[in-house]
Amino acid sequence: MVIFIVYMIHDIICGMETQPKTSAKDFFINLGAIVALYTTVVSLVNLLFTVINKSYPQINNGYNYFGSSSISWPVAIIIIFFPIFIFLMWLLGKDYINNPEKQNSGIHRWLTYITLFIAGLTIAIDLITVLYYFIDGQELTTSFLLKIFVLLVIASGVFSYYLADVRGKLTPKLRNIYRIVALVIIVGSIVWGFAVLGSPRTQQLLKYDEQKVADLSSINDAIQNFYSMKNTLPKDLAELTTINYYVNQNDIQTQKPYEYKKTGALTYDLCAEFNKDNKVEVTKPNTYARPMGYVSWVHGAGYYCFSQTINPNNIYPPKYQ
């Protein structure tokens, strides 16, 4: 790697006197192409890591507050930035055919070598990580190996493309081959993501359910607060307004009020209509099911009620409010 850096610096310095003048257009097209490439690659890795995490969840007893279970952002970014990258690289390729000397311009060589360096460093770190885990006797899980494979394939593809560019072997035919392979990988990744995590409509329904759980949780807190002040449960949700405690009492999807049923002096039910069953998620980190006696918001699909019980020992007297 050190030899590669020395060669890169030497090649750039030696070629400065013979480099053609770079116009503003050349500068921004080259810079835009590299930015689009980096953005697409990072989003593709994010997309694939999310799908892998969903397909092969890590089993642990703790809570993982990092990462995301949504592919909306990476898919949206890829759909926009990948065509931009292809278009800008097409412009550059067309310009290089008419003006071959521009391939030796300073901005093009600098960005190419920087990309080669980053891709090469990623490959090295990728392989070192696998070797370290193997030597250290740590478990090489399917999820871990798939992520390593994803990084290796993407970094190797970028490295080989720009290495061919540096060596002057990136012909129009080879460029098209790389474009087709990249398109297949990206489309395949997006399709895999939707197959594992659901279509955009499924994601929308899940977000409706998340909002319903959030609303019911706020209503539950308000009822607990009401009992601590009044030493009794409210007759209905409208009575919660007497303690100046604002909560959203309507289902955001159906616009119908959530159901509150007082079933005893210390017991009540909170009910809503849910789109999806989230019981499968309870074995995974960062879910609605919380330990240590807190309320569990695990629900089935359709009409579902959460039965709650007031614990007077956990309620502060009104004078402490």
**Structure-model confidence comparison of residues 67 and 134, the more confident one:** 134
Assess contact for 197 and 71: CB atoms under 8 A.
yes
Is residue 303 very low, low, confident or very high in pLDDT (cuts 50, 70, 90)? Answer: very high
Q: Identify the CA nearest to 96 among candidates 107, 106, 104, 86.
A: 104
pLDDT averaged over the chain? Answer: 82
By mean pLDDT, which of 25-29, 62-66, 163-167, 223-227 is the weakest? 62-66
Look at the chain and report how many structural domains it folds into: 2
Max CA distance (Å), the chain: 88
Lowest average pLDDT, out of 8-12, 226-230, 266-270, 301-305, goes to 8-12
**Are 123 and 221 within one domain?**
no
Final residue belonging to a domain, choices 157, 180, 198: 198
The verdict on 85 and 143 lying in the same domain is: yes
- Please check whether residues 133 and 225 belong to one and the same domain: no
Whether residues 39 and 143 share a domain: the answer is: yes
- Pair 10, 98 in one domain: yes
Identify whether residues 181 and 252 lie together within a single domain.
Answer: no
Least Cα distance to 118 among 89, 151, 152, 159 occurs for 159
Per cent of the chain over pLDDT 70 is 82
Q: First and final CA of the chain: distance in angstroms?
A: 64
User: Is 299 exposed, middle or buried (CB count within 10 Å of its CB: 0-12, 13-18, 19+)?
Assistant: buried
If pLDDT is split at 50, 70 and 90, which confidence band does 16 have? very low
- Which whole number is the average pLDDT over 213-218? 93
| Mean local confidence (pLDDT), 134-138 | 84
pTM higher than 0.85, yes or no? no
- Which residues form the domain of 178? 2-198
**H helical segments located in 100-241:** 106-135, 142-166, 172-197, 200-230
For 37-89, write each residue's pLDDT tens digit. Answer: 999 999 999 999 999 988 886 644 433 434 456 788 899 999 999 999 999 98
Confidence (pLDDT) at 315 = 58
Query: End of a domain among 180, 198, 216?
Result: 198
Q: Are residues 156 and 8 in the same domain?
A: yes
Q: How confident is the model at residue 203 (pLDDT cuts 50, 70, 90)?
A: confident
Domain match, 206 and 194 both? no
Query: CA-CA distance, 310 to 240, in Å (whole number)?
Result: 16
User: Is residue 171 pLDDT above 50, yes or no?
Assistant: yes
The strands making up 267-274's β-sheet, listed across from edge to edge, are 259-262, 267-274, 302-309
| Domain stops at, among 179, 198, 217 | 198
The C-alpha angle 47, 159, 134, rounded to 5 degrees, equals 70
